[in-house]
């Protein structure tokens, strides 16, 4: 049997995504879902944010499962940022899965399996279960250890105001009691299904017995009535987690190593019908979440056709896609289409557009970013950075923040000044200058046919060196 400890890498992918957008804590909307000019780290881009707010509301009401949304606009106009803001506003109760289009191809899974897993990670199942609890005040714990220490035995005496019972303890319960540091006088709750113990507090009746109690000791009264009670507990898992736990060849361990492999379709079918059954019986609720596919133009025609069908599944999430492509080729085909999406998918998609930023917005975003990166730019340096942002791109200007800061630190300056920004602009090329440089000096690089002139300044010097 082979044991794998590989992780699937998606966690790392998401990490860098978050770092670039760490200043964003939501869409920045007011109570009527109107975007505020600057709030929650978001600036401008008002109509796209308003549209995202409407989607947010509909997702929260569980109204638009199985729908597709495309955020389209030029590079660095905040498409990814808006999706991140939306996910923050949704909160932790609605599943949100973010992947980049290219990720689908980098896995050991087939493209469609990787997509399928992403879809199922985005569907939550809220399961209601009744568990039996034993709740009472501990009267006495008695533990006998064997000489070797391996085997333990013991008795727990526990009471309510109306009754008192003695339970035999096994190894597991003794460990649990020791771990939770339960002593006589504690009011505890034991979950009978898994043996978990929760300390509810100390009993009032013992309030005066001990003086070795911390100031944060919580006092509760001794429970009344029966020792055994029933309670409804609710927990939420994604369909994908249920798949993993139940796909036998992977086993439970797969959940921790992250390497799930392909999941057989029979397993999924069984789980779907079971979940549907629970839903009928009122034991479970389906929470359609969001699957965000960034850089969606990286997907190919097979992936798009998979998405088309997956959207019709009874458990479909909301699919939000983002792209900066205009009319371009759909991968795996020879035809061009708007945003590189095949027309049948585009047809069922509602589109949110992002617009290029004006100077004011760029300045504000750069300011927020510089604060987020814990740097201090003086006003002139920030205006220069804004000017660079206008003429090159917002992202290039953002990248200069950290660099300029390092340069200013070398001068032991508290603040980043114009000279630091100028220096970093000289040191690091933006794309336009890089293109210009290649046009001038292209012959020194390796071209598509493998030709290169090492050490040559220009073509006409070639002959002399041979
Ligand atoms: N309206 C905004 N308010 C605050 N920060 C923003 C806003 N728009 C963009 N940003 C920030 O600017 C940077 C670039 O934006 P983002 O990555 O969202 O662009 P994008 O539209 O996804 O670009 P691409 O097409 O290249 O993927 C990010 O750091 C992002 O957090
Ligand atoms: Mg993006």
Q: What is the pLDDT of residue 212?
A: 55
Q: Whose CA is nearest to atom 23 of ligand 1?
A: 76
For the chain, the average pLDDT equals 83
Q: What is the pLDDT of residue 456?
A: 53
How many Å apart are CA 416 and CA 421, to the nearest integer? 8
Question: pLDDT grade, residue 463 (50/70/90)?
Answer: very low
How many Å apart are CA 59 and CA 289, to the nearest integer? 7
How many Å apart are CA 36 and CA 49, to the nearest integer? 9
Q: Whose CA is nearest to atom 24 of ligand 1?
A: 75
Does the pLDDT at position 60 exceed 90? Answer: no
Angle between helix 301-310 and helix 111-121 axes, rounded to 10 deg: 40
As beta bridge partners, residue 191 has 133
How many Å apart are CA 73 and CA 52, to the nearest integer? 14
Across 263-278, average pLDDT: 85
Q: 369-381 pLDDT, tens per residue?
A: 998 888 889 999 9
Across 238-249, average pLDDT: 79
Domains and CATH numbers, the chain: 43-122+289-353 (3.40.50.300), 123-281 (2.40.50.360), 359-428 (1.10.8.60)
Determine contact, residues 449/425, Cβ cutoff 8 Å: no
Give how far the C-alpha of residue 57 lies from the chain's centroid of Cα atoms, to the nearest Å: 20
DSSP letter assigned to residue 448: T
Q: Whose CA is nearest to atom 26 of ligand 1?
A: 75
Angle between helix 394-410 and helix 379-391 axes, rounded to 10 deg: 140
Identify the weakest region by mean pLDDT among 119-128, 311-320, 438-447. 438-447
Q: Whose CA is nearest to atom 16 of ligand 1?
A: 78
Across 324-344, average pLDDT: 90
User: Which of 26, 49, 50, 76 has most ligand 1 atoms within 8 Å of CB, for mutation?
Assistant: 76
Q: How far is the CA of 17 from the centre of ligand 1 (A)?
A: 11
Determine contact, residues 35/50, Cβ cutoff 8 Å: yes
Please tell me the number of the ligand nearest to residue 36's CA.
Answer: 1
Across 210-222, average pLDDT: 73
Identify the residue whose tokens are 């945003």.
Answer: 339
Q: What is the pLDDT of residue 191?
A: 86
Q: What is the pLDDT of residue 3?
A: 34
Contacts of 44 (CB under 8 A, 6+ apart): 37, 38, 357, 358, 360, 361, 364, 365
Q: How far is the CA of 73 from the centre of ligand 2 (A)?
A: 10
Across 446-457, average pLDDT: 70
Least Cα distance to 154 among 138, 174, 140 occurs for 174
DSSP 3-state of 337: strand
Measured CA to CA in angstroms, residue 300 lies from 143, 240, 296 at distances of 64, 23, 9
Q: What is the pLDDT of residue 15?
A: 44
HSE of 96, CA atoms in CB hemisphere, 13 A: 19
Which atom belonging to ligand 1 lies closest to the Cα atom of 354?
Answer: 21
**To which H or E segment does residue 242 belong?**
helix 239-246
Q: What is the pLDDT of residue 107?
A: 67
Q: How far is the CA of 97 from the centre of ligand 1 (A)?
A: 19
Which atom belonging to ligand 1 lies closest to the Cα atom of 43?
Answer: 3
Q: What is the pLDDT of residue 8?
A: 38
């Amino acid at each position: 049997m082979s044991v794998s400890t590989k992780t699937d890498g998606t966690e790392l992918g998401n990490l860098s995504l978050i770092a670039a957008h760490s200043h964003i804590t939501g869409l920045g909307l007011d109570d009527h879902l109107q975007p505020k000019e600057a709030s929650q780290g978001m600036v401008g881009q008002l109509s796209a944010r308003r549209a995202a707010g409407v989607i947010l509301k509909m997702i929260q009401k569980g109204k638009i499962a199985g729908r597709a949304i495309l955020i389209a606009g030029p590079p660095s106009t905040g498409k990814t940022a808006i999706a991140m803001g939306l996910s923050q506003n949704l909160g932790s109760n609605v599943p949100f899965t973010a992947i980049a289009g290219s990720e689908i191809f980098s896995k050991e899974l087939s493209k469609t399996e990787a997509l399928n897993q992403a879809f199922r990670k985005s569907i939550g199942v809220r399961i209601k279960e009744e568990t039996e609890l034993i709740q009472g005040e501990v009267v006495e714990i008695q533990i006998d250890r064997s000489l070797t220490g391996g085997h333990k035995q013991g008795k727990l005496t526990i009471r309510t105001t109306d009754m008192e019972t003695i339970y035999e303890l096994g190894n597991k319960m003794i460990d649990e009691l020791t771990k939770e540091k339960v002593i006589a006088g504690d009011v505890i709750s034991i979950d009978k299904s898994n043996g978990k113990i929760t300390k509810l507090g100390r009993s009032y009746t013992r309030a005066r017995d001990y003086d070795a109690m911390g100031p944060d000791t919580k006092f509760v009264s001794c429970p009344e009535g029966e020792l055994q009670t029933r309670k409804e507990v609710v927990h939420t898992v994604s369909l994908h987690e249920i798949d993993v736990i139940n796909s036998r060849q992977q086993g439970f361990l797969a959940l921790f190593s992250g390497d799930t492999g392909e999941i057989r379709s029979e397993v999924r079918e069984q789980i779907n019908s079971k979940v549907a059954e629970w839903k009928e019986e009122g034991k479970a609720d389906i929470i359609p979440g969001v699957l965000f596919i960034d850089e969606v133009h990286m997907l190919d025609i097979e992936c798009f056709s998979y998405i088309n069908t997956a959207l019709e599944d009874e458990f479909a999430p909301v699919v939000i896609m983002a792209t900066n492509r205009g009319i371009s080729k759909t991968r795996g085909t020879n035809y061009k289409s708007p945003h590189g999406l095949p027309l049948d998918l585009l047809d069922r998609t509602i589109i949110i557009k992002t617009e290029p930023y004006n100077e004011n917005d760029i300045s504000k975003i750069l300011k927020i970013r510089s604060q987020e990166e814990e740097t201090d730019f003086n006003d002139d340096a920030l205006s220069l950075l804004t000017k660079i942002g206008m003429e090159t791109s917002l992202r290039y200007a953002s990248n200069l923040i950290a660099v300029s800061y390092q340069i200013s630190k070398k001068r032991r300056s508290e603040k980043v000044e114009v000279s630091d920004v100028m220096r970093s602009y000289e040191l690091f090329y933006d794309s336009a200058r890089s293109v210009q440089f290649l046009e001038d000096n292209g012959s020194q690089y390796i071209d598509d046919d493998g030709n290169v002139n090492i050490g040559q300044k220009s073509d006409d010097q070639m002959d002399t060196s041979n």
